[in-house]
A and B are shown apart, each in its own frame.
Chain A
Amino acid sequence: MEVVFFIITVLTLAGAIAAMSLRHLVHCALCLAVAFGGLAAFYLQLNAQFIGFAQILVYIGAVAVLIVFAILLTRGIESAPQPLFSSAWPVGLGVALLVFGSLVFAIQSSSVAQQQAAPSAQATIRTIGSQLMTNFVLPLELIALLLTAALIGAVIIAMQEPSAKSTPMKDHAASAPIPSVPEEQR
């Protein structure tokens, strides 16, 4: 087990460091996917199958693809060469230390740290499902509402303004014009 843990740790950290330090954005995105995969492997090693597979499905299957798409659809993949370290790196280091310190302080002083570690239980999908549908149904519904709102917001932002000069979008595929062919030839 120790060996597996070591391998996963090295892989995850290497992926994360490469994602920060490589010069090419697409390489960074791919290395980030490796780091996500390493995190999923950690969950699997902790016997949390559901979370592990969901991590792969959501982060590698959706988030990494989204990042890649965002890189491709925006201009400037090959940006001008910049130094690896920003000139403000001491400030960044300070902020990072501050965040780390406050997190450590918060965890140390919270009641969670005083609890005994629970015996590692095999959380089956059935348990997770019934818990989500009974005890945690309100948070679940709230998250669903939030995501729906975000989705509708995204659609509204992406929707064409009806007053714009471009022709209003027809809403079905079949009406996509092939105007140059006379009717009897089709």
Chain B
Amino acid sequence: MVEAIDQIFVIAKHWVVGQFPAAWQSFVSVLLSIVPILMVFPLLFAVTTIVERKALGRIQNRFGPNRVGPWGLLQPVADGLKMLTKEDIIPRPADRIVHFLAPVALIVPSLLALSVIPYGRNMVPIDLDAGLLFFFAVGAGTELAVFMAGWSSRNKYSLLGAMRAIAQMVSYEIPLILAAVSVVMLVGSLSTVGIVEAQGERYGWLLKWHLFTPWGLAGFVLFMIAAAAESNRAPFDIPEGESEIIAGYLVEYSGFKFALFFLGEYLGLFAISGLAITLFLGGWHAPFSFLEWIPSYVWFFGKLSALVLLFIWLRGTLPRLRIDQLMNLAWKFMLPMSLINIVVAAVWHYTADWQFTGALICRWLLCGILFGAPYVWLGSALMGENKFAKRTYRFAD
């Protein structure tokens, strides 16, 4: 019974495919892998927008949307209708073709990236031998799309926004990939399915998620910081920076093209959160073996929602970084730390055959020191003479 509920979508797909003549079967099978992605994630996007606005409202001590439908829950529908009926303005000096192609070029890589993520047991649209590489390769396409948007608008703000966005994405791609490399090194596979399966073993009742190792913990934090920057989320949203460059490369987009950009950004967020789950949070595995009766796809989407909520929380909490702070964080802190994390992962791997009692604690201590000492040293060196002190207010106290 548990097995059947877990595999319900797989069984349903096989049944539907079986109804078609043999010549059609491969085509129908592909179609049945693509259509759910196109349906589930835009729907999740709609839900996320309302949750995000509600949560930000709560954080900022206001109501958030509460006019459309019960508790404002139909707000995404109203937003969608508004976007569809709004006039699509193209500035006269703009490069019309590139201006038109940019949102399309942004949304296609985000959708492609979603195709290699395992959503549940036996539920992966395509299992590529180099799935992880595929994810990063299609992700590289978004940079050009952002540039196309910024350049074709013929607006200095959008060009500035695009330059900032590309500089940021190129910089944070390196720690992102290096954090993923440590996982690839220990699993010995670039296939996303293989990475998830490697996290299915157990210590007692605890599953061997990569998060439960020192290098995995550090790698997850590094990965999430880089992921926030890669998807242009606050606190790394200077490419859009409403208060300085009035939304950057989105300035000259209105109507449905703007909605497409919005959708593409959130699809990218879902994709990279899904990759974080695949790499560090055990994919569709339950954390404890006694919880394995809950279906695998519920675990995946539960983790996805948790990560998206984490991003919303970060957005509501942290102030925006300045561009020099952003670049320094990427190149002087994230890059060395992710390189050190690879060494820590290697140490963890080669101490795996320690047998004496308390070996696990010794390994944790060793790896913790190997990662923690450079962290403290690098942190204090980068701080220099600047010390945090209590902020004094003149009028507010």
Interface of A toward B, CB cutoff 8 Å: 26-27, 30, 33, 49-50, 53-54, 56-57, 60-62, 64-65, 68-69, 72, 124-126, 172-176, 184-186
For residue B236, CB closer than 8 A to chain A, the reply is no
For residue B328, CB closer than 8 A to chain A, the reply is yes
For residue B322, CB closer than 8 A to chain A, the reply is yes
| Residue from B140, B151, B383 in contact with A56 in the complex, judged by beta carbons closer than 8 Å | B140
Is the CB–CB distance between B130 and A49 below 8 Å? yes
Q: Which of B131-139, B197-205, B366-374 contacts the other chain?
A: B131-139
With A49-B130, A184-B394 in contact, do A174 and B383 touch (Cβ < 8 Å)?
yes
B113 to chain A, nearest CB (A): 12
Is the CB–CB distance between B386 and A50 below 8 Å? no
Assuming A53-B136, A173-B324, what are 19 further A-B pairs, CB within 8 angstroms? Answer: A30-B98, A30-B144, A49-B133, A53-B130, A56-B140, A57-B137, A62-B140, A64-B144, A68-B151, A172-B328, A172-B332, A172-B382, A172-B384, A173-B322, A173-B327, A173-B328, A174-B384, A175-B384, A176-B324
Interface of B toward A, CB cutoff 8 Å: 98, 128-130, 133-134, 136-141, 143-144, 147-148, 151, 159, 163, 166, 170, 173, 188-190, 322, 324-325, 327-329, 332, 382-386, 391-392, 394
| Chain B facing A: main interface SS | helix
How many A-B residue pairs lie within 8 Å, measured between CB atoms? Answer: 88
Is the CB–CB distance between B129 and A68 below 8 Å? no
| Residue from A50, A72, A176, A186 in contact with B130 in the complex, judged by beta carbons closer than 8 Å | A50
| CA–CA, A126 and B151, complex, Å | 41
Is the CB–CB distance between A125 and B190 below 8 Å? yes
Q: Show 8 A/B contacts (Cβ-Cβ < 8 Å), sorted by A.
A: A26-B151, A54-B133, A65-B144, A68-B151, A126-B189, A172-B382, A173-B325, A173-B327
B166 to chain A, nearest CB (A): 6
A120 to chain B, nearest CB (A): 15
Is the CB–CB distance between B147 and A65 below 8 Å? yes
| CA–CA, A64 and B327, complex, Å | 21
Q: Which residues of A contact B143 (CB under 8 A)?
A: 61, 65
Residue ID in chain B nearest A59 by CB atoms: B140
Is the CB–CB distance between B136 and A57 below 8 Å? yes
Q: Which residues of B contact A54 (CB under 8 A)?
A: 133, 137
